[in-house]
Amino acid sequence: MPTEYHFTDGGAAAADLATRIASLLSEAIAARGTASLALSGGRSPKPVLEALARTPLDWSKVVVTLVDERWVAPAAPDSNERLLRDTLLTGPAAAAQFVPMKNDAADAYAGQPAVEAAFAAIPWPLDIVLLGMGEDGHTASLFPAAAELADGLSSTARTIAVTPPAAPHQRLSLTASAILAARHIFLQISGDAKKAVYAQALEDGPVETLPIRLALLQAQTPVEVWISA
């Protein structure tokens, strides 16, 4: 079962989570000379990314990437890369090496092989994966009822191209095996709707219905869940 941390204030949760992530990155750098960090997009991680951006650390030794990306231009409002460039990759953290999940290919399926090749250069396993969760129980871009979900749950590749059944844009996503290979997994949950889905996901049931279960119902990798109002 995951370890839970509860906060009434989202800002306090973000500050605390940023401190925890920075501490693990420092430990990884001390142990192995480098650290790797895969971050979620969407709305949830923004305050954590802003807090991390201000955190002193030898960012030049950190490789940063995403757990998923929408197949849109990097400057588009929906781009997860844009979120990182506008938040984390400013100030001291701009010294980090960023490995994007989006390239110039016409679509996510055509672009996936080059992303997979680029991921071979990331210090592996990932030291830290920061997951989010949608109200449909998706995590990264592993969506319930997606045609590629079975592959995403079973593939030994690090990345997969996905077309979400009910969300915009083709995506690139980490696979379940890439997520679970990480040394530490974090999950952010906020708001009553997501709390209810999270509680349901903790009950035994198929990963296919609530893909976040791939992280919650396993014992391979420690998972810390940061829950706020």
Residue 148 interacts with ligand LXAUTJHC (CB under 6 A)? no
29 or 215: CB nearest ligand LXAUTJHC? 215
Q: Is 97 helix (H, G, I), strand (E, B) or coil?
A: strand
Residue 127 interacts with ligand LXAUTJHC (CB under 6 A)? no
Burial 43-64 (b: 16+ CB within 10 A, else e): ebbebbbbbbbebebbbebbbb
Residue 132 interacts with ligand LXAUTJHC (CB under 6 A)? yes
Q: Which stretch binds ligand LXAUTJHC (CB under 6 A): 39-47, 57-65, 110-118, 221-229?
A: 39-47
Residue 19 φ/ψ, nearest 5 degrees: -65, -45
Distances 79 to 128, 158, 180, 228 between C-alpha atoms, Å: 21, 20, 24, 25
Among residues 14, 18, 22, 41, which is the contact residue for ligand LXAUTJHC, using CB under 6 A?
41
Q: Which stretch binds ligand LXAUTJHC (CB under 6 A): 5-13, 36-44, 98-106, 176-184?
A: 36-44
Q: What angle do CA 125, 128, 133 make, to 5 degrees?
A: 115
Answer yes or no: are the C-beta atoms of 50 and 87 closer than 8 Å: yes
Q: Of 2, 194, 132, which Cα lies nearest the Cα of 141?
A: 132
Residue 79 interacts with ligand LXAUTJHC (CB under 6 A)? no
Residue 68 interacts with ligand LXAUTJHC (CB under 6 A)? yes
Q: Which stretch binds ligand LXAUTJHC (CB under 6 A): 22-30, 41-49, 115-123, 154-162?
A: 41-49
Q: Is 171 helix (H, G, I), strand (E, B) or coil?
A: strand
Q: Which residues lie near ligand LXAUTJHC (CB under 6 A)?
A: 40-44, 67-68, 80, 132, 134, 141
